Amino acid sequence: MLKEELETTAFLARIDIKDEEKEKYLKDINSMLDYIEILQEPSVATLKPTTHVTELKNVWRQDIVKPCSRETIEQMLNGAPEREGTFYKIKKVIEAQ
């Protein structure tokens, strides 16, 4: 991984990393990339990938809104760094023309 790739990955992951830490990240992640090489070794072309060990199938249900107590709503909203009424407040995402 090169410095530019690290910066792109950090942008994709939405993580701010400090300039002075970049070398350390690169060193650590590049040593982890050795794992990828190790995993190319066995012949597994005919095997199915395992995502989960369960054999559970997807279960469909009606999309019905269930009521939630006012107390719970308040508790959930109170956990937010910023709120306005019953909304979470974030920075403006649409610029004025």
Partner 1 sequence: MIRAKELSIKICSKEVKSVDVVKECFSRIKEVDSKVKAFLKLNEESALRQAQRVDKKENKKCGILEGIPIAIKDNIMVKGESMTSASKYLERYVSPYDATVIEKLKEAGTIFIGRTNMDEFAMGGSTETSAYKKTANPWNIEYIPGGSSGGSAAAVSAGMIPFALGSDTGGSIRQPAGFCGIVGYKPSYGLISRYGACALASSFDQIGTLTKNVMDAALLTSVIAGKDYRDPVCQPNEWIDYTKGLNGPDVLKTLKIGIPKQLSDYKIDPEITKYFNEAVNKLKAENAQVVEIDIPAYKYVPALYKVIMCAEVSANIATFDGIRYGYRSPNSVSLNDQYAKSRGESLGYEVKKRILFGTYVLGAKNYHRCYHQAQKVRTLLINQIEQAYKQCDFIFTPATLQMPVKFGETLPEECDIFLIAANLAGLAGITVPCSFTSNGMPMGVHFMGTRFSDAKLFKVANAFEKVASFDVDRYPTL
Minimum distance, C-beta of residue 60 to partner 1, in the bound complex (Å): 12
End-to-end CA distance of the chain: 40
* By CB under 8 A, residue 36 contacts partner 1: yes
Q: CA-CA distance, 88 to 84, in Å (whole number)?
A: 6
Count the site residues for partner 1 by CB under 8 A. Answer: 51
Q: Could you tell me how far CA 59 lies from the centroid of its own chain?
A: 24
Give the interface with partner 1 as residue ranges (CB under 8 A): 1, 5-6, 9-18, 21, 24-25, 28-29, 32, 35-36, 38-42, 44-45, 47-54, 56, 59, 72, 75-76, 78-82, 88, 90-93
